[in-house]
Every structure is written in structure tokens, then in C-alpha cells.
Amino acid sequence: MGYYDALFQPLKIGTMEIKNRIVMTAMGIHYEELTNPDGSYTQRGIDYFVERAKGGTGLIVTGAMQVQNKFEADHQGTTISTAGESYIKGMRPLTEAVHKYGCKIVTQLTAGTGRQAPYWLSDNSDPIGPSDGLPNVWNPDIKHRALTIDEIRTYYVDGFRKGAVVAKEAGFDGIEIHAVHEGYLLDQFAIKNMNHRTDEFGGSVENRLRFCKEIIDAIHESCGEDYPVLMRYSVVSKMKNYNDGALPGEQYTEFGRDYDDSIEVAKYLEKIGYAALDADNGTYDSWFWPHPPVYMPPYCNLDDCAFIKKHVNIPVICAGKMEEPAVCDSAIAEGKIDAVGMARMLLADPAWANKAADGKPEDIRPCIGCQVGCLGRLFLGKRMGCAVNPQTCSEKVLELLPTDNPKKILVIGAGIAGMEAAKDLAARGHRVLLYEASGQVGGAFIAASSMSFKEQDRKLITWFENEIKKAGVELHLNTRITKEMLAEIQPDEIVVATGAAARELSGIPGAGEADIINAIDALTSRKSEIGDKVLIIGGGLTGIEMSYDMALKGKKVDIIEMKDKVLDMPDLCAANSQMLKQIIKYYKIPIHTSAKIISLEKGKITFEVEGEKQCLEADTIISSIGYHANTALYEDIKDIYGSNVHLIGDCAKVSNLLNATWSACELAVKL
């Protein structure tokens, strides 16, 4: 008997047997560094998947590949159904490499987005869907037209057939259909309130799923009845209406697929030959369910997946913050689900499975649900990565190879950037001395992780602390580095990771006398001073997150923001911002935008909105107006040490966790 026996039992999905119950669910890596013009993966893309196979994953599902490119403006490139021999040749090295580690791999084929086509739809796009008049998710003023029966069969069903043949020839062990899930096109056909057709593709469950039946029939006809076809599936839609998602625990009437409908749909998918349900919840209207951010509870989809498993005899894979091996193992052992689905967990730590198998869950690098490196970058048109794991999609580019020139390297500051640099430099064989002025590691991330819903952030600090110890880093706490100490230590290289400090309000009458608490102090040293009625100046991410944390504690909070909207950050994932906006609405947190502060007094703010003067009183006023780089030490020593002193993290550029870890790892590879 080993660790987590249920998690590491084999599983049959149709004729395919996977070695354990750990499934890497699809995560798009469509970017020129990772994907060839024909849709196959470059060597860098292959390395990304192989690292997860090497890490012990039982089944990998690759990112969705289009089967048609006629309608949607964001999918005008090569499709799998037209790629042909070049795709087969490009993908065989991937499937062969993954198989060497005993891992199975299926590719995901997609019918596309329908009403979820991105808001940057070009003027010549053709917004399509199951029915006329459906509103676009990103721009509801755009209305979608209904696909014709001929279009469904010519461009989609035949595209799936051709694509499956190509995928099988490339060595894939099966196909996953994308999807009766997340509100994508096939899901729109399946959901009654989105499918108003009166022909053979609308009405009854069988008609609404005729599209799915014709797809699987075409694949089995061309690839054989024994070729496994999985379905990506949302158990329930978690929708109150279009662009209105339901929060966990919220009482609401389901607009999309509810339990009763889901039973019928799941049973019919099994009946027509789908080999497994790769399941979670939600649509783009409730995007925080299929892509749960930090604010969602762990295992958020487990109960719903366990419900649907009672009604089908095919395997049910459950995805959605499946964090701890022990919980995953118990869910499988108790028969709630058949396997766990992971995407971001395996971005954060590709060796999740091996570490669990070795009985070392504390060694697993936690995903914190920030979604900055994965979905956030994807929707900015950038290469996907991971904020906590800079090597994701850069497995060889940022490989920590042994150095030929070991050095004595001093890292100043044990925040996230400093700890990432220290462990990476030590992994390369350098002697690393890490100095921290305070009595604990974590830096500004201590404050960020202090909110009640940020358990994974706190685990990340602990993980880093354990990793630097294991790496042999010499850690010195309660020690502030001076120029004189540098002369004594005589390092070969100096890495400055002194982070950032909270900006203070200035230039406003009364600012100096009003006892304003900055965000960092409000989350740490002065946390106990926060009263029941709070005013937060600043509607950025920290300000909004603090308001949520305080609302959970029963405090009354108002937000004052000088911009015309809150959460105005391009790299914030839409799922995260969407959930925070639902939280603001649910907890009735007043937001005062376009506000110009006129004066401050103790417990009182006077401000102006569109020429109208307003006054708010509170027990506590918190300033959350951003941060400035702490570069004082660097300025003192840069002329002395020249090119041997390096800035990383927030003291180089005030940004986010991704910048901290990536800048640290990139430097470690160079030194």
C-alpha cells in the first residue's frame, strides 16, 4: 500500500486505460513560441506537456483546436481538419514523448465560441450561434445569428470527423469534444434558454444534442467504435441571466442548465457513446466557476460532479481547485468522482502527481488562483505562463542548469522575488546568502496573504520557506544590510529584492492629521484597529479585495475611487474581476467613482463627484492607492558594485507576483 491509493489506481475510459486518476485538463497555449502555423506544437510547446507527463500525470488533454475557420474572426488560421500531414508530423514527437512516461494524451477539438466570441470581433466577422438574437458575452449589443443545418454539418460535423482522423494518425489516444461546457457553442445548443430553434436541432434534449450525436457518430465511423471520445461538460450553468453569474451559496433560479436538465443531458451523452464526462460548472456569464479564482472555495465543483456521477455509468472527472491530494483521494475512494481534473495546479507544479505519490504534499507548489500568468496573459494575446512557476512554458529556456562558475551571491530581501532568486541560484550551485530586515520571510506578500480567503497565498510563503531551506540557502533574519556589511561579506554578485512600500496620501488638506492607515498596515500591524465602519480610498485590486474581506467580517465598507471604474487593470483575469463585481453587488458595497477628494479629517472624507460635494464618515479610513519601489539601498550601492548589483521584483518595477518570480528566475539563469 502506498500513499493515496484511490488516486493512484488505474482508470478505464472506454478502451483507454490511464495509470492513475490525475487528468491534466485543457489549457490553451496558442502562441507563436509554442504553436506552429499548422496547429502542432513547437519543441517549446512539447516540452511544456512532457514536463507534466514526466511529473506523473495519468492523462493529458491538450488545448482546444478549431475544426472550422469560416465564421469567427479570432479563428481564421489553420484548423486541425485542414492541417493534414504537417500537423501529424508535428504532433508525433509530442505523443511519443508523453507515452514514454506511461501517460496517455488526447487532443481537444472545438466547435468554437458562438456568443462567447471575444469583444474584439472584427467588422467582417460573422457572429453565429444556435439561435437568432443571442447577445454576445463581451458586447451584448452584438447579436448572433442562427447557424443553418447545412453549415452545422458542412463546417462543423465534417470538420470534427476530419480532425479526429488526423489526431488519431498523430498518435493521440482519443479525442475530447469541446464542449457542452462553459457556455461554448455546443453548450448553447444544449441549453434550453439559448436554443430557440424549431428544426431538428432544437426542442427536446435529443434535438438539442443532435449536434453532439452527429459529431461522435462521424468520429466513430472514421476512427472506429473503440476510439475513446470524451466530453467536456458543465453540470450546471450557475447563471441568473446573461452576464449574471451566481456566487457560491447564493439562492437563485437557474437560467442555464439545472440539475434536472443535466441528468437528461448527461444520460443522453452516455447513451450516444461518449466515454467520460470531464466536468465542472459554469459559463462565461459565470466564468468564475470553470476558472475559479482565489475568492472561490476549494473543491467548488465537487458536490455537483458527485451529483451527476450518480446518474451515469461512465467516468466523471471533476475539475475546480482540486488542491490537496488527501481530499482528492477521499473523493475518489468514496465514489463521488472517478478522477480529478487539473490545469492550473499543474502549471504551478508539473510534479504534483509524483509528489503526491511520494507522500510529500507539502512539497507541492500551490496555485493561488491569481490567473495572471495563465488566463490573464492569454486574453492579452501573450504567451501563457504561471505567476508562481516562471518555468511554465519555458521549461528549457529557464532550465536551472549547474553553473560552471560557482559564486558567492548575496540576495537582499526575503519577499517572493528574493526567495525565488535564492532557491534558483542555489539550485544552480551558487552559494547564496539571503538577508531579511524583518523577522519573517514573505515581504509584502505577508499583507496580501492575510485576507481570510487567501489560504493558498499563505501556503505559498510556507512553500518558499521550505524550498530555500532544502536548497541550502543561508537565511539571516532581523538583519538590515548596510554598505559596511557588504564590505565584510564581499559577495561576487548582489541581488536587491527590497520590494515596494505603500504610497501615502499627500497634497490633500488634512492628510497629515487624519490618521489614514495604509493598506499594508491595515492588513498587518494595525489590523486590530479597523472599526466596523470603513472607508477605503482606492478601487484597485487590493482595495476591492480588502472590502470583500471586511464584508465577510460584517463590517460596512465604502470605496472611493478617482477613476471612472474600479479594477481598472489590463492584466486582471476577467473571471477574477467578474467575481469581484458580483461580490460588490451581492454585499451591497457602495462604490464612489470619479471622486475627487477635497479634504480629510479624522474619520471623515469630503469629496466631489461630477460637481456634487459629498461627505462620508467612518471609524477607519484606509488608503489603498498603490506602491512605490523601495530602491534606497540600490541607489546607495549601485556606483560601488556596478554591473554586479541587480534589481528584481517590485523594487525594479512595481507590478505583481508574476513579475517578482519571473524577474528572479530569469536573473538566476543568467548569473
Quick check: is 517 in a domain? yes
pLDDT at residue 122, as a whole number: 56
Overall residue count recorded for the chain in this entry: 671
Q: Whole domain around residue 582: which residue ranges?
A: 504-625
Quick check: is 289 in a domain? yes
Number of domains in the chain: 3
pLDDT at residue 491, as a whole number: 97
pLDDT at residue 119, as a whole number: 58
pLDDT at residue 378, as a whole number: 86
- Do 340 and 545 touch, CB atoms closer than 8 A? no
Q: How far is 349 from 146, CA to CA, in rounded Å?
A: 42
In this structure, what are the phi and psi dihedrals at residue 387, rounded to the nearest 5 degrees?
A: -70, -35
- DSSP code at position 374: I
Say what the pTM is.
0.96
Residues 324 and 237 in one domain: yes
Quick check: is 6 in a domain? no
Alpha-helical runs (H) found in 455-529: 455-470, 483-489, 519-523
Across the chain, which has 671 residues, the per-10-residue mean pLDDT values are 92 98 92 90 97 98 89 64 90 98 97 84 76 95 95 96 97 97 98 98 98 98 98 98 98 98 98 98 98 98 98 98 98 98 98 98 98 91 94 98 98 98 98 98 96 98 98 98 94 98 92 93 96 98 98 97 94 95 98 96 95 96 96 93 96 96 98 97
Q: How far is 426 from 432, CA to CA, in rounded Å?
A: 6
- Do 358 and 320 touch, CB atoms closer than 8 A? no
Residue partners of 196: CB distance under 8 A and separation at least 6: 130, 131, 132, 202
Residues 476 and 529 in one domain: no
Instruction: Return the sign of the alpha-carbon dihedral for residues 577, 582, 583, 587.
Output: positive
235: CATH = 3.20.20.70
Residues 438 and 527 in one domain: no
Q: How far is 593 from 603, CA to CA, in rounded Å?
A: 20
Quick check: is 398 in a domain? no
Residues 105 and 200 in one domain: yes
Backbone region of residue 385 per phi and psi (left: phi > 0; alpha: psi in -120 to 50; beta: other values): beta
Quick check: is 391 in a domain? no
Residues 220 and 116 in one domain: yes
Residues 346 and 488 in one domain: no
Residues 175 and 291 in one domain: yes
- Do 535 and 616 touch, CB atoms closer than 8 A? yes
In the chain, DSSP finds a helix count (H) and a strand count (E) of 23, 31
564: CATH = 3.50.50.60
Q: How far is 246 from 281, CA to CA, in rounded Å?
A: 11
Residue partners of 248: CB distance under 8 A and separation at least 6: 296, 297, 300
Residues 163 and 245 in one domain: yes
Q: Which of 595, 607, 623, 589 is nearest to 514 (CA)?
A: 623
pLDDT at residue 281, as a whole number: 98
Residues 324 and 450 in one domain: no
The residues assigned a catalytic role are 184
- Do 222 and 164 touch, CB atoms closer than 8 A? yes
Residues 327 and 293 in one domain: yes
Quick check: is 26 in a domain? yes
Residues 292 and 422 in one domain: no
Quick check: is 432 in a domain? yes
Quick check: is 563 in a domain? yes
pLDDT at residue 570, as a whole number: 84
Residue 170 grid coordinates: 498523430
- DSSP code at position 283: B
pLDDT at residue 426, as a whole number: 98
471: CATH = 3.40.50.720
Residue 13 grid coordinates: 475510459
Residues 351 and 235 in one domain: yes
pLDDT at residue 123, as a whole number: 58
- Do 438 and 418 touch, CB atoms closer than 8 A? no
